[in-house]
Amino acid sequence: MMAWLSQHRAALARAFGRLLAAPLGTLLALLVIGIALTLPGLGWVLLDNLREIGREVSAVQQISVFMNLDAGKKDIAEIEGRLRSADGKWRFVSREEALKRLQASEGMAEIVASLPRNPLPDAFIVEPARSDPEALEVLRKELAGWPKVAHVQLDSAWVKRFDAFLRLGRLALWILAGVFAAGLVAATFNMIRLQVVAQAAEIEVARMIGATDAFIRRPFYYYGALQGVLGGLLGGGLVAAIFALLGGPVGDLVALYGGNFALHGPGLLHFASLAGAGGLLGWLGAQLSVSLSLRKLD
Amino acid sequence: MIVASNLSKRYPGGFEALRDVSFAIEAGQMVFITGHSGAGKTTLVKLIASIERPTSGSLVVNGQNLSALRRSAIPYVRRHFGLIFQDQKLLFDRSALDNVLLPLQIVGLGRRESIRRAQAALDKVGLLDREKANPIALSGGEQQRLAIARAVVNRPAVLIADEPSGNLDAESAGQILDLFVDFNRVGVTVVVATHDPHWLERYHPNVMRLAHGRLAA
């Protein structure tokens, strides 16, 4: 166990040594990896921001439940009782209150005054606990089936469209991430291949004096993984910088439309994921490269 | 103990470097393999060190049949040998000490103990004061002594050298031979492929002569 640990520690130290031995080359390699991870990272954080907007907006999703004109107090009490036992908030808008509101609207007073009787029904404004499109649709159907309910209005089309947009965005992000991941593996593959060629003499000597394949491969694996982790962190930093630059102008734009949304840059999870993905892809590129390169040296 | 029975080696292309070679080297012996260029000395050394595999016959070292060895087991067998090459195969991107540390890193010895043993090996070959020097800054004789330090640092049971005095002057070659004698005195089996007449004269009873891939009488 101690020998195993000692070998891993030495391999890690050798990998660090190789990274530090050529600082300019290492910096350029990290930039290549960082930039390759920036675009998917940017898309990911952007989608997270959009999802948050969607959550905030859909969180105040309302369903209007209009009663029949002949619905009496007993029918209203029945609906109130049913809504009390359900999750979420609701409030009752009587037909008189609705008429008053209509009258208060600009240019409507005269029109309302000319009406022979109040044409508006009693209504309930329901704010459900769950606001995802599927749950809203289920609730709409249920409310429509309640007694003396004339019409249930739910404008969920935009929620569905927004959800579909997010799904499409996620798919596009996965495709983009796949393409850039392949590029990152290829870049690491080439860097490690050059490393193996440069270390050919050491590999030959090490093999002759009893090094196993694992011993020879290990520093290259660590090198690829380390490079990937550092590149991933650099990518996360670039995403954070881009969001920091965009945050002000986006906030100003949203304010012009009366909103108060603020862009959120990458969090710890984003950084950790980019570093982890970079490390994993670097390790994969190193493994493919070392396997092929060592076979050539055999 | 090294026992070869009808050992043959044919390289791809058809060149037969060794033909039906049989011999036995007792543990603790010091043996010299000699012969003209192309006689098969280096091939025999490589077979004993399990760098090459025989085409036929068997080669048993310390009870282990190297001919039947699985590929994955070869590195572990090689660790029992100390190998010294004519071109030393030193690494010029690191210090003398780091060259000697390599076999200890391979077996996973702790850093502190590794340094202690590497320095002891350098001391033994008279290079402790040059531990920080790059091998390129060392003379031919010093480079060969450094290669010996690397070969013995793992305390091998068998020391195998291929033309270790090939490029050295008489004085340096003499120092190298003295080192082999010292290691042999403490029980290490030493097998040296050489055509150095001084060495062969001094140790003529222990000389194996190869000619055209066969062991001469």
Q: Looking at this predicted complex, what is its ipTM?
A: 0.86
Tokens representing A217 are 């491969």
Tokens representing A80 are 């109130």
| Helix B111-124 and helix B140-152, axial crossing angle in degrees, nearest 10 | 130
What pTM did the predictor assign?
0.72
- Residue B123, pLDDT > 70, answer yes
Which tens digits make up the pLDDT trace of B81-110? 999 988 889 999 899 999 999 999 999 888
Give average pLDDT by consecutive 10-residue segment, chain A, 298 residues.
Answer: 80 87 89 91 90 67 87 90 86 90 81 84 87 80 90 76 84 90 91 89 91 92 95 95 91 79 89 95 94 81
**What pLDDT score does A215 carry?**
92
Give the three-state DSSP class for B106: helix
Contact B108 A4 (CB under 8 A): yes
Average pLDDT in chain A: 87
Which tens digits make up the pLDDT trace of A99-146? 888 888 777 888 888 888 888 999 999 888 877 777 888 888 888 999
In degrees to the nearest 10, what's the CA dihedral of A198, A201, A203, A209? -160
**Contact call for residues B85 and B166 (beta carbons, < 8 A):** no
**Rounded CA gap, B48 and B208, in Å?**
14
Contact A215 B83 (CB under 8 A): no
- Residue B4, pLDDT > 80, answer yes
Query: pLDDT exceeding 90 applies to what percent of chain A?
Result: 40
Which tens digits make up the pLDDT trace of B29-75? 999 999 988 889 999 999 999 999 999 999 998 888 888 888 889 99
The residue of A12, A209, A215 whose CB has the most chain B CBs within 10 angstroms, and thus the best one to mutate to test that interface, is A209
Which tens digits make up the pLDDT trace of A70-91? 888 899 999 999 888 888 888 9
**What pLDDT score does A242 carry?**
95
- Paired sense of beta strands A149-153 and A63-67, if any: antiparallel
For residue B24, which phi and psi values (nearest 5 degrees)? -140, 130
Give the torsion sign (CA, B149, B27, B47, B79).
Answer: negative
Residue spans of the domains in chain A: they are 2-57+160-297, 62-155
> Which residue in the set A4, A202, A210 is minimally distant from B79, CB to CB?
A210
- In sequence order, the 6+-apart residues with CB closer than 8 A to the CB of B155 are none
CATH of the domain spanning A62-155, picked from 3.40.50.300, 3.30.70.3040, 3.40.190.10, 3.90.1420.10: 3.30.70.3040
**Contact call for residues B77 and B69 (beta carbons, < 8 A):** yes
Q: Which residues pair with B32 in a beta bridge?
A: B192, B207
* CB neighbour burial string for A238-269, b if at least 16 within 10 angstroms, e if fewer: bbbebbeeeeeeeeeeeeeeeeebebebbeee
- Residue A32: count other Cβ atoms within 10 Å of its Cβ: 18
**Contact call for residues A197 and A290 (beta carbons, < 8 A):** no
